[in-house]
Structure 1
Amino acid sequence: MRISPRKLGLLSALYFVQGLPYGFQTTALPVYLRTQGVSLMAISVLGLLAAPWMLKALWAPLVDRHGSERLGRRKSWIVPMQAGLAATCAAAAFVPVPEALPVLLGLVFLMNLFAATQDIAVDGLAVDLLEPRELGWGNSAQVVGYKLGLLTGGGLLVWASDVIGWRGLFLAMSLLSLGVLAVVALAREPRRTVEGGGEERLSWHELRDRLLATARLPGTGWMLLFIGTYKLGESMADVLFKLFLVDVGFTAGQIGQWVGTWGTVASLLGSAAGGLLASRMPLLGALALASFLRVFPLGGEWWLALHGPTEAGVIAVTVGEHFFGGVLTTTLFAFMMSRVDRRIGATHYTLLASVEVLGKFPGGPIAGLLATQAGWSYANVFLLATVLSVAFLALLLPLRQRGPGPPSVSPQV
């Protein structure tokens, strides 16, 4: 069964605006700073500005537990965070660079802080809104919306900056944030009640006990291990594949078109297809199928490195990897949400999402060390990435076990 258009539109808009600052920081900000004469050393440490996304689990319990009854537990966080994001984007438009570079970087950090904190509340809202049959399409809205935000903040607005200027870019981000703020302000948040009636409101002691109870459910350790490793092989291959294409003689324009443009489109289509797959199959089966299909383009990268790349081969492998990677991400997020205790939805889901983010991080450094320090060829690294992706499929077998579900809750709309 399909998700209602109202839920789909609301979630897509919220995740879209959360992707704007991160897309800007990772793609547009380095270009902007370099055009303003900022040093390479200063630009190289920009990744620290994304720290709120890696650390947000630390304050997720606060967001999950506190909130206004009148405005709505989730909206009482989303609305001020959205307003803060719009204000910081507007303020950044008037910061002179490089004279006031620390001010600009501080504002970008605040953008990420507002977006990451809002993400906790939006994840909780998604848990509250979505019924089990809607998880596939709902998580497709999450992933596609966020990727479109990344594309807009890091691509489309940069392209438009030739006309509107960098100040116009910041103001456009602010206006987009205000537009979504208006949408969420008019949206009605459901109230979730436990069996027997009454609004749920857990104490800190109860919140801790429920987290401990979820950690003791059968299969939790295997689930965390899979979430933390499911893209390790893929991230190892990704960090070297573009460098491999440069070394064999393809131009920056070709790589940008194939990976940056066609790959992004394929990823968006894959995320949408993942929602369809997760809505038509049991979630664990959809996750297993997506994990299995993702292996083939990774094996294709190994084949190209071993036998020599062709233009058609690179395009096919790039599109395949981004498409099936998008399918896998959506099905995994739907699976994660299906295992969330809805009474602590924002905290529980944020913890799982943090494991997913942190688990992908070691792939790049491992691949770099193997290629530079250990002297491995591109083909050998790509082969290891493929083998690891096959091996991690075995982690899905213990996930068939599952303990008793969380207390039943129902939305009071």
Structure 2
Amino acid sequence: MPTESVSPAPGRHWRIFSVGLLGFSSGLPLALSGSTLQAWFTTAGMSLRDIGWITVIGQAYVYKFLWAPLLDRMRLPWLGRRRGWVLLMQVVCALALFDMSFHTPQGAAGTLAFLAVVLAFASATQDIAYDAHRTDLLRPEERGPGIGLMQVGYRLAMLVSGAFALILADRVGWGWTYRAMGCLMLAVTAVTVFSPDAPDEQPARSFTEAVVEPFADLFHRYGKLAFAWLLFVVLYKLCDAFALSLSTTFLLRVPKFSLTQVGTVSKTFGLAAGLLGAVGGGWLVTKMRLYPALLILGICQALVNLGYIVLVHSGPDVSVMAAVVSAEYFFSGLGSTAFVVLVTALCNVRYSATQFALLSALAAIGRVFLGPVAAWLVPQVGWSTFFLITALSAIPGLLLVVAMRGAIGGAEKTRVH
């Protein structure tokens, strides 16, 4: 296969900054096929049954590892092994958003839902390629600041496609809102075009190499420890996902905050705290070894869940909610950055698309499946005990951190080819 000519790689600062800008592209479509779309169906007067079906549209994010080997196997004829897929999926996302803007839930609910599935699939596929590109591109010493900036870009995109999209729709309508989001997706393709390319690796040459070897490679490199790594990925953020699974319902029904109060606090205090946490996490892992960072931040993630117990008894006190939500978002941002640094270190550059997709899918298990468990548990034990249980659910993950101290230190220093 002829080797593609690659221009000299830009400097370190552009390499890291481009990762952050592409994080914005990764985060933008998520709400537009999820919570923002639900708001569109709600304001259109659609039934709860129709709105309920909208919630399953985002399943592509959970199952993306199933087609991730295709991206390790196939190189598109432009922009190298990773950026070619990122660019193609950005264009597909933009076209889906433009097409959605010309339909309404009242007149074409099925068409809108289908286009949202296309949007979610293209977005999840973009994430596969982007995660692989970031994993291949960043050197070990650049993972902290690079992933911190990625978290910042991702969270800003969620603000734009969430809160800002709702405000815009209230003023100019849903059609123009989705067209504006489509324009943003097209604009960010410029970042993909000019982003530096990672040192190229030979793509998989066969189905076995594309599908079987990425998983076999994990077990070959880590042996019996591979199962511990997979369990760690599932458990480390479990307490965070557990507490957040019903947090909005809790804030509305127990302290009885209004929708405006919950939205304003989460989109202002929560966003600011989350951005600080993301930036702080990137700085922290450059100043502290990964093992103590994961241990300390894991403990903090558990302890902040106890703040919700205060809200059980405080009533609708906005200042208390702002403090609790800010602490939750801040330490979640810190912990997420350190966690993604570790997951990045575990991936082999040769199979980074498949391996990162698998590990991030495992990390999403708590977010996807703990909601029904929480809904069953709360009536049995009450809200205060529930939040105590969510804090205690961090213990297995923390014990794994301690048990795998040496392995974490070894993974931190490596760049596997």
TM-score between the two structures when normalised by the length of structure 1: 0.89
Say which is worse superposed, 383-392 or 176-185, in terms of deviation.
383-392
- 1:225 corresponds, among 228, 231, 240, to 231
Separation of aligned partners in 2, 1:174 and 1:385: 38
Which amino acid is the alignment partner of residue 336 of structure 2? T
For the Cα contact (< 8 Å) 2:302–2:391, is it kept in 1?
yes
- Which residue in 2 is equivalent to 1:396? 401
1:17 aligns with 2:17: no
- Offset from partner CA, 1:362-410 (integer Å, 9 cap, x none): 32222110123x2x1111101111111244311112322439878854x
Across the aligned residues of Structure 1 and Structure 2, the Cα RMSD in angstroms comes to 2.4
1:40 aligns with 2:48: yes
1:355 aligns with 2:359: no
Q: Residue 366 of structure 2: SS of its match in structure 1? A: helix
Structure 2: tracts of 5 or more residues without a match: 1-10
- Which residue in 2 is equivalent to 1:342? 349
For the structure 1 residues 133 and 237, does the alpha-carbon distance in structure 2 shift closer, same or farther, using more than 3 Å as the test? same
Please show how residues 397-412 of structure 1 align to structure 2 within 5 Å: 397-402=402-407, 409=417
Separation of aligned partners in 1, 2:249 and 2:98: 36
Separation of aligned partners in 1, 2:89 and 2:257: 43
For the Cα contact (< 8 Å) 2:33–2:119, is it kept in 1?
no
Separation of aligned partners in 2, 1:408 and 1:264: 34
Structure 1: tracts of 5 or more residues without a match: 194-198
Q: Residue 55 of structure 2: SS of its match in structure 1? A: helix
For the Cα contact (< 8 Å) 2:214–2:355, is it kept in 1?
no
- Which residue in 1 is equivalent to 2:198? 190
Say which is worse superposed, 165-174 or 216-225, in terms of deviation.
216-225
- 2:152 corresponds, among 144, 150, 154, to 144
- Which residue in 2 is equivalent to 1:237? 243
For the structure 1 residues 237 and 200, does the alpha-carbon distance in structure 2 shift closer, same or farther, using more than 3 Å as the test? closer
Which amino acid is the alignment partner of residue 220 of structure 1? A
Tell me the CA shift for residue 111 of structure 1: 0.9
- 1:98 corresponds, among 84, 101, 106, to 106
Question: What percentage of aligned pairs have identical amino acids?
Answer: 29
For the structure 1 residues 317 and 67, does the alpha-carbon distance in structure 2 shift closer, same or farther, using more than 3 Å as the test? same
Which amino acid is the alignment partner of residue 321 of structure 2? V
Please show how residues 11-410 of structure 1 align to structure 2 within 5 Å: 11-68=19-76, 71-193=79-201, 199=202, 201-207=204-210, 208-216=212-220, 217-218=222-223, 219-246=225-252, 247-305=254-312, 310-372=317-379, 374=380, 376-402=381-407, 409=417
For the Cα contact (< 8 Å) 1:23–1:149, is it kept in 2?
no
Separation of aligned partners in 2, 1:308 and 1:85: 42
- Offset from partner CA, 1:96-147 (integer Å, 9 cap, x none): 4311111111111111111111111111111111000011112112222222
Tell me the CA shift for residue 307 of structure 1: 7.4
For the structure 1 residues 250 and 37, does the alpha-carbon distance in structure 2 shift closer, same or farther, using more than 3 Å as the test? closer
Which amino acid is the alignment partner of residue 228 of structure 2? W
Tell me the CA shift for residue 4 of structure 1: 3.0
For the structure 1 residues 9 and 363, does the alpha-carbon distance in structure 2 shift closer, same or farther, using more than 3 Å as the test? same
Separation of aligned partners in 1, 2:176 and 2:128: 29
Tell me the CA shift for residue 79 of structure 1: 1.7
Tell me the CA shift for residue 333 of structure 1: 0.5
Tell me the CA shift for residue 150 of structure 1: 1.5
Say which is worse superposed, 328-337 or 4-13, in terms of deviation.
4-13
For the structure 1 residues 210 and 161, does the alpha-carbon distance in structure 2 shift closer, same or farther, using more than 3 Å as the test? closer
TM-score between the two structures when normalised by the length of structure 2: 0.89
When the two structures are aligned, how many residues end up with a matched partner? 400
Tell me the CA shift for residue 303 of structure 1: 4.3
Q: Residue 402 of structure 1: SS of its match in structure 2? A: helix
